[in-house]
Amino acid sequence: MFKRVGLFLLTNLGVIIVIGTIVNIFGLNRFLNENGLDLESLFVFSLVIGFTGSIISLLMSKQMAKRAVGARVIAEPLNQEELWLMQSVEKLSQKAGIKMPEVAIFEDMSPNAFATGAFKNDALVAVSRGLLRSMNKREVEAVLGHEIGHVANGDMVTLTLLQGVVNTFVIFFARVIGYAVDRVILKNRSENVGIGYMVASILAEIVLGVLAMIIVMAFSRYREYRADEAGAYLSSRENMIAALQALARSKEEPRLPEQIKSFGINGKGLMSLFSTHPSLEERIEKLKKSA
């Protein structure tokens, strides 16, 4: 817990240093202050808005995910399959050095699984009915190892911090650009900002938001490689490769809701730059090469 708080504080300090350096190098601080824009107040506003949504989403992630897919948490196993699932998660969690997450099943015939939760020792691992039906126990174990790897690596917290950072940058610089357009290009000298500020801010936020999404998606793909390595370690490399190959053979498209799509074992995007996951072929090849 203290490690996560330290990471949060260091992240905020990093944001302050980077933004402060940029505005000083380009002389924006003096120029905008002279023209009536308080950069310090804007930065605090951007930081609060940028991180608040991300942190609230993280704290609510378990409940949101359960509702989104209709997941049933296994309190007491109803059959041998559920008992094996619970025992497997417990064994892998112990090997990963974390407290056993909640285990859930959701009724979807596409093979998928996800992990989420605000804290390493209070997480959720959920698997689809389709995953249990389409894979053997060795492959399912590898998928569970992959998801527990996400939890042990603290991927949910790290992704939240990254999202908060890029949100802060987008909000801050979109408004700086809007103000500069309003005062310098359109030469608005009234006390209030004009329509140019609003239009320029919105356009800048869209452009910067796309660039920010590329950064977040790049990290999301990177953490999938790390979780694959975790699955290979917690189960076996052969099992993890076999599980990814089983996903590649499946004719069912992954159907996780948008808000938790990046947490699934299998995900696709329209373009590689905006995809939450690398291709299954790339992941299989990387596991084989790193053996």
**Amino acid at site 15:** V
**Distance, CA of 40 to CA of 33 (rounded, Å):** 10
Please give the pLDDT value at position 59. Answer: 85
More confidently predicted of 221 and 13? 221
Q: Is residue 94 part of a domain?
A: no
pLDDT at position 2 is 40
**Residues near 237 by Cβ (< 8 Å), separated by ≥ 6?**
287, 291
Which pLDDT score, from 0 to 100, does residue 102 have? Answer: 94
Active site residue 81: no
Q: What is the pLDDT of residues 7-55, one digit of tens each?
A: 444 555 555 555 556 555 555 555 555 556 677 788 888 888 888 888 8
Please answer whether residues 242 and 139 qualify as being in contact, where contact means their C-beta atoms are separated by less than 8 angstroms: yes
Helix (H) or strand (E) holding 49: helix 39-59
- Decide: helix, strand or coil at residue 175: helix
Tokens of 73: 């948490």
Can you give the residue range of the structural domain that contains 156?
Answer: 1-65+138-291
- The answer to whether residues 216 and 162 touch, using CB atoms and an 8 Å cutoff, is yes
Quick one: the chain helix, strand, coil %, rounded to 5? 70, 10, 20
What is the pLDDT confidence band of residue 268, given thresholds at 50, 70 and 90?
Answer: low
Question: Which residues, listed in sequence order, are joined to residue 114 by a DSSP beta bridge?
Answer: 126, 264
The DSSP H or E segment spanning 47 is helix 39-59
Domain count, the chain: 1
pLDDT given at position 89: 96
Position with higher pLDDT, 4 vs 73:
73
> According to the model, what pLDDT value does residue 160 have?
85
Task: Flag whether 42 is in a domain.
Answer: yes
What digits encode the pLDDT tens for the residues 110-158?
899 999 988 888 899 999 999 999 999 999 999 999 999 999 998 888 8
Q: Could you read off the pLDDT of 145-195 as tens digits, one per residue?
A: 999 999 999 888 888 888 888 888 888 888 888 888 887 788 877 777 778
Task: Read off the pLDDT of each residue in 96-107 and give the average, rounded to a whole number.
Answer: 94
In a domain, 229, yes or no: yes
Which residues are paired to 102 by β-bridges? Answer: 124
In a domain, 265, yes or no: yes
Convert the pLDDT of each residue in 65-97 to its tens digit. 888 889 899 989 999 999 999 999 999 999 999
Q: At how many degrees (to 10) do helices 137-153 and 195-234 cross?
A: 130
**Residues 65, 78: Cα–Cα separation, whole Å:** 22
- Residue 78 falls within a domain, yes or no? no
Active-site residue, selected from the candidate residues 141, 147, 205, 229:
147
Q: pTM of the full predicted structure?
A: 0.80
95 assigned to some structural domain: no
In a domain, 153, yes or no: yes
Buried b (16+ CB within 10 A) or exposed e, 95-109: ebebebbbbbbbebe
